């Protein structure tokens, strides 16, 4: 098809297949590859009595557009039967989740970046008739109304695509299948009909199949959870209870349908996002924090440090910052660019009392962190505000000094409904905000 995108392999090459059965007899079939008017490859095949042909050409990835011609030769005369123009080869990514993955911005601000090298396919529209629109086009952040959301990948999707194209000089294809206001149970695959376009999962799978890109997806970028802070799901329990199980089941479906996925990227949602104000919201973020423990190829990023912040959704500048946080991670995991500093959000590794008096608690993170003294107000012991006199420590460790002996069994950091964007937080020395945690068991001091 015109404007089609081909995923590159580990050698940096994509393959255009041309297979079928001729409607008329011929001596041979040919398949030609051009850059502009320059012919760079020709494949020929003799045609047998069954008139079947199987041809292919290889594309080198890069900021170059190809075109193809398919045809037959009979009695020494070539006849072109089909043409396709503006074909490119590069990397494919998927965005999935709810409204902060859709990333329209509340005022539908459209990202100004436009590029022939940033593409998408079809539409995330829930309209059954439109959901099966098999068309290619240049991606943009929002394309609602009469265009039925064709090629729409969200604000941070466009920003991320722009950064990748400019850095790596390779075309990028992003398919965004997110739907606002949805729970994670609504993102599961219909096992009886995986491409059911009445489901979120089925609409995206159908698009990727029609685009011939199921085996080219390099990563899934997931931003979801705001609608799992309550108890509206099918089990009648709070969303955090089954969140991990649902995610693992969904990721297994992804891996089956998109078998070459290299990495998963997930965001821990904003505290109290979209009205979540109870401890159940904090427990949902805790489940998100623990998800990477179940995967060898998952990266977790906090949204806590995004400015402007997101009480529910983000302003364009906030979505752009979200993309800039993701960018170094994709550089490391998919493009082999090592960084001297960590490119992920600090995550808690352990919590313990430092002595038998139980008047001091040590937090150990997976990387060096820094903080302001006011961050002491963000901790809770057994769900209640903690009376901390000093916050000290160095490197990966943070020491919480209590005003007296404590019998608390759990420690939490950042409470939904009480934290504000201007409050002090813990950050890595890379300036990424640490992920929040909830009701983490405090271990007893170890004897020396």
Q: Mind giving me the DSSP string for 149-166?
A: TTTB--HHHHHHHHHHHH
pLDDT given at position 92: 98
pLDDT < 70 regions, the chain: 146, 447-448
> What's the rounded Cα separation, in Å, for the pair 322 and 224?
14
Q: Is the dihedral of CA 364, 368, 372, 373 positive or negative?
A: positive
> What's the rounded Cα separation, in Å, for the pair 94 and 222?
9
> Strands 427-428 and 379-381: what pairing?
unpaired
pLDDT given at position 390: 82
Locate tokens 């940033």: which residue?
A: 118
Is 0.85 topped by the overall pTM?
A: yes
Of 348, 346, 250, residue with least CA distance to 299: 346
| DSSP secondary structure code for residue 147 in this structure | G
Sequence-separated (6 or more) residues with CB below 8 Å from residue 161? 113, 115, 118, 139, 153, 172, 174
pLDDT given at position 447: 59
pLDDT digits (tens, 9 = 90+) for 4-27: 999 999 999 999 999 999 999 999
Q: Which two tokens stand for residue 442?
A: 């405090």
Give percent of the chain above pLDDT 70.
99
């Amino acid at each position: 098809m015109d404007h089609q995108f081909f995923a590159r392999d580990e050698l940096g090459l994509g393959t255009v297949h041309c297979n079928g059965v001729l409607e008329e007899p011929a001596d041979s079939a040919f398949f030609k590859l051009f850059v502009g008017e320059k012919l760079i490859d020709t494949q020929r095949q003799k045609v047998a009595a069954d008139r079947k042909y199987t041809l292919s050409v290889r594309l080198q990835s890069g900021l170059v557009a190809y075109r193809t011609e398919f045809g037959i030769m009979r009695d020494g005369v070539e006849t072109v039967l089909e043409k396709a123009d503006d074909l490119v080869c590069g990397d494919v990514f998927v965005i999935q989740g709810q409204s902060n993955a859709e990333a329209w911005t509340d005022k539908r601000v459209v990202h100004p970046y436009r590029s022939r090298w940033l593409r998408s396919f079809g539409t995330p529209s829930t309209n059954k008739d439109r959901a099966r629109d098999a068309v290619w086009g240049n991606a943009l952040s929002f394309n609602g109304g009469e265009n039925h959301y064709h090629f729409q990948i969200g604000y941070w999707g466009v920003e991320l695509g722009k950064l990748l194209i400019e850095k790596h000089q390779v075309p990028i294809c992003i398919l965004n299948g997110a739907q606002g206001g949805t729970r994670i149970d609504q993102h599961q695959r219909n096992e009886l009909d995986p491409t059911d376009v009445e489901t979120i999962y089925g609409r995206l799978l159908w698009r990727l199949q029609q685009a011939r890109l199921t085996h080219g997806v390099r990563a899934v970028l997931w931003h979801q959870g705001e609608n799992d802070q309550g108890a509206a799901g099918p089990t009648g329990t709070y969303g955090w209870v089954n969140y991990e199980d649902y995610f693992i089941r969904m990721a297994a479906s992804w891996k089956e349908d998109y078998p070459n996925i290299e990495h998963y990227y997930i965001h821990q949602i904003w505290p109290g996002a979209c009205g979540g104000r109870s401890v159940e919201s904090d427990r949902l973020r805790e489940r998100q924090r623990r998800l990477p423990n179940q995967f060898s190829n998952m990266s977790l990023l906090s949204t806590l440090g995004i400015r402007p912040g997101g009480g529910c959704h983000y302003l364009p500048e906030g979505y752009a910052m979200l993309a800039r946080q993701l960018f170094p991670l994709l550089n490391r995991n998919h493009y082999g660019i090592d960084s001297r500093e960590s490119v992920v959000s600090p995550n808690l590794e352990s919590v313990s009392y430092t002595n038998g008096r139980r008047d001091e608690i040590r937090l150990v993170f997976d990387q060096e962190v820094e903080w302001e003294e006011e961050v002491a107000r963000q901790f809770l012991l057994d769900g209640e505000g903690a009376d901390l006199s000093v916050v000290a420590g160095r490197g990966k460790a943070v020491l919480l000094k209590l005003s007296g002996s404590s019998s608390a069994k759990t420690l939490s950091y950042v409470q939904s409904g009480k934290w504000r964007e201007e409050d002090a937080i813990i950050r890595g020395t890379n300036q990424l905000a640490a992920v929040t945690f909830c009701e983490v068991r405090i271990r007893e001091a170890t004897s020396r």
